[in-house]
Every structure is written in structure tokens, then in C-alpha cells.
Amino acid sequence: MEPASLKTPLDEDASLAAMMHSRAPEISDDGFSARVLAALPPPRTAPARWPWVAYLGGGIAGAVFVAVRAALTRDAASQLANALGLILVTLADPWFELGLAIAALSLLIAFAFNRPSWRPW
């Protein structure tokens, strides 16, 4: 419980509330704010590199996961060959190629109209 001496008197609260809710015009600064902002140095803009760090980190983590998983498996070579065979069969499917082309085209259109700041070009 806080002591009574910390509380402001009710008449002071009422006058403060009345002052805050009044429609008094703002005090003119005669261009002071504009002069202060003009005197400040321009903000430094650094290129956003964190997305590329995240991409590389994810790729490295995936490669490490695959390498560890393959090392723990006895028959890693045949499993890798089977996986690559499945990937090649999937890539040879014309419907998959059409879907991939549509996805690539939609990303190209999205990046052409929304210029992200992290784009490398």
C-alpha cells in the first residue's frame, strides 16, 4: 500500500485533466523542430544481410543433418541412389515442371512489382 503523501490532490488532478482535454491551440515553435531535424545527420542505412545469413545457415544445417544421417546409416550409398532416382523421376514429370515454371513466374512477377530491400541485384 502506498503512503497518502504520494497521491496528488483531487483538485490538481481535475485541473490537469481539464487542461489535457481543452481545445487550446498548440504552441508555435517558429520552425524550431524543422531546424533541429535539418541539423541532424542523415540516418545511416545498412544493407540487410540477415536474410542471407539465415539462408546460408539453413543450407549448412541441412547439409550437416544429411551428412550425419548418412554416416549413421549402414547402407547410405544405396539409399542415396534411391533418393536421387526418385528425385529425377519427379523432375521428369511434365506436370511438376509446369508447376515449377508457374511458381517461378509468380515469384518473378512478385519481385518485379514489390522491390524488397534485401534483394541482391
Residues 37-63 have pLDDT tens digits of 899 988 877 666 777 788 888 999 998
Residue 84 domain flag = yes
Alpha-carbon Rg for the chain, nearest whole angstrom, is: 32
Task: Indicate the number of domains in the chain.
Answer: 1
Domain range for 99 is 50-113
Residue 119 domain flag = no
pTM, entire model? 0.32
Report d(CA 73, CA 80) in Å as an integer: 11
Residue 74 domain flag = yes
- pLDDT confidence tier of residue 71, bands split at 50, 70 and 90: confident
Residue 67 domain flag = yes
Report d(CA 57, CA 24) in Å as an integer: 57
Residue 54 domain flag = yes
**Cα angle 101-54-119, degrees, rounded to a multiple of 5:** 55
CA 37 to centroid of chain Cα atoms: 28
